[in-house]
Amino acid sequence: MHEFSLATSVVDFLQKLSKEQGMSRIDAIFLEIGEMTHVDPRQLRYSLKMVSQGTVAEKSKVYIRRSGIVLRCRKCGKESRLKLMDAITDYSLKCAACGSLDVDIDKGRELVLKRIRGSK
């Protein structure tokens, strides 16, 4: 369950950030998770609740937004979005414009702490 280790990293970062910013409490956490991360938002939310106990992030609300998959073709340079599928094997990682398989995944594998809301 890598959600627990991700939650631990997020809370560790929040502890450091809150100290630097002089916050006594973090009220809300806004995360963006790429569709290809294999992170279950429910498990991450639960892990954050568990890991944040006794920290400045305890009882904070967690907002999670999924971000789509964006490919960039090395051949024609076009950018294309993939729609969410049931399984990773259902994705066709080819350029929608020219059909090339020589593509980079620009977005969809990230976990980003977009912002937080806290109190001093």
Q: Give the CATH number of domain 2-68+108-119; options: 3.30.420.40, 3.40.50.450, 3.40.120.10, 3.30.2320.50.
A: 3.30.2320.50
Each residue of 12-27: pLDDT tens digit?
Answer: 999 999 999 999 999 9
Amino acid at 66: R
Each residue of 29-84: pLDDT tens digit?
Answer: 999 999 888 899 999 999 999 999 999 999 999 999 999 889 999 999 999 888 66
Going from N- to C-terminal start, the domains of the chain cover: 2-68+108-119, 69-105
Instruction: Outline where 22-107 has alpha helix (H).
Output: 41-51
Q: Which residues contact 53 (CB under 8 A, 6 or more apart)?
A: none
What are φ and ψ of residue 104, in 5° steps?
-110, 145
Cα distance between residue 63 and residue 93, in whole Å: 29
Cα distance between residue 35 and residue 62, in whole Å: 18
